[in-house]
Amino acid sequence: MSALGHATVPYQLIATSADVGFVTPADADHARRIVAEIRAARIAPDPVRVLGDLVVFLGPTAAAAADRKARLDELAGRAYESDATVFTGTPLQLADLLVEWRQAGLSGFRLRPGAIPDDLEAITRVLVPELQRRGAFRTAYEAGTLRGLLGLHRPASRYAQVGSN
């Protein structure tokens, strides 16, 4: 099970009931506090994966990314808002942020491209290779399932019979 959390009560749900939790930290210190809170409340022996959720607007320069987002905001008639941190900058700046947040204890990230296809292409063509160069992103898939990639065990089926007569 996965859950999205923005505060203590949802963090407790993640800690007690989820295999994967999506959280929305504002910075590395906030990420560290969130992870500590979830891990302290964890009662299951299995690990929980805590993923940071970010919306990203990327460009070749920070100014270009900010200008593109400003144009999109102008077209929409209002500034873009999200429950997650909105990152505007270069793929290399995003790589710095992701590495910093990973060091703060996050297991990984869910990146939401601010505009498709531009931001999705920047993630796949520039960000991923940079993270791979830094040793912060896989270069091959070690497992054949999402649970395997996350390092999670296969749960027992609730429909399986326990013992038979």
- Please indicate, yes or no, if residue 101 is contained in any of the structural domains: yes
Domain limits for position 16: 2-137
Structurally, how many domains does the chain consist of? 1
Residue pair 130/91 in contact (Cβ under 8 Å)? The answer is yes
pLDDT band at residue 163 under the 50/70/90 scheme: low
Residue 165, pLDDT > 70, answer no
Structure tokens at 58: 């990327």
- Please indicate, yes or no, if residue 145 is contained in any of the structural domains: no
Residue pair 48/21 in contact (Cβ under 8 Å)? The answer is yes
pLDDT band at residue 104 under the 50/70/90 scheme: very high
Q: What was the pLDDT predicted at 124?
A: 97
Structure tokens at 97: 């942020």
Which residues, in sequence order, are bridge partners of residue 17? none
Residue 164, pLDDT > 70, answer no
pLDDT in tens, 80-97: 999 999 999 999 999 999
- Please indicate, yes or no, if residue 162 is contained in any of the structural domains: no
Which residues, in sequence order, are bridge partners of residue 111? 54
Q: Give the count of beta carbons closer than 10 Å to the beta carbon of residue 40.
A: 9
- Please indicate, yes or no, if residue 148 is contained in any of the structural domains: no
Supply the CATH number for residue 99's domain: 3.20.20.30
Question: What percent of the chain lies above the pLDDT cut of 70?
Answer: 97
Cα three-residue angle 161-14-28, rounded to 5 degrees: 145
- Please indicate, yes or no, if residue 21 is contained in any of the structural domains: yes
Residues 11-31: what's their mean pLDDT?
93
Residues 127-132: what's their mean pLDDT?
97
* pTM of the predicted structure, to 2 decimals: 0.86
- Please indicate, yes or no, if residue 164 is contained in any of the structural domains: no
- Average confidence score pLDDT of the chain: 91
- Please indicate, yes or no, if residue 74 is contained in any of the structural domains: yes
CA pair distance 54, 66, nearest whole angstrom: 16
Identity (one letter) of the amino acid at 130?
E
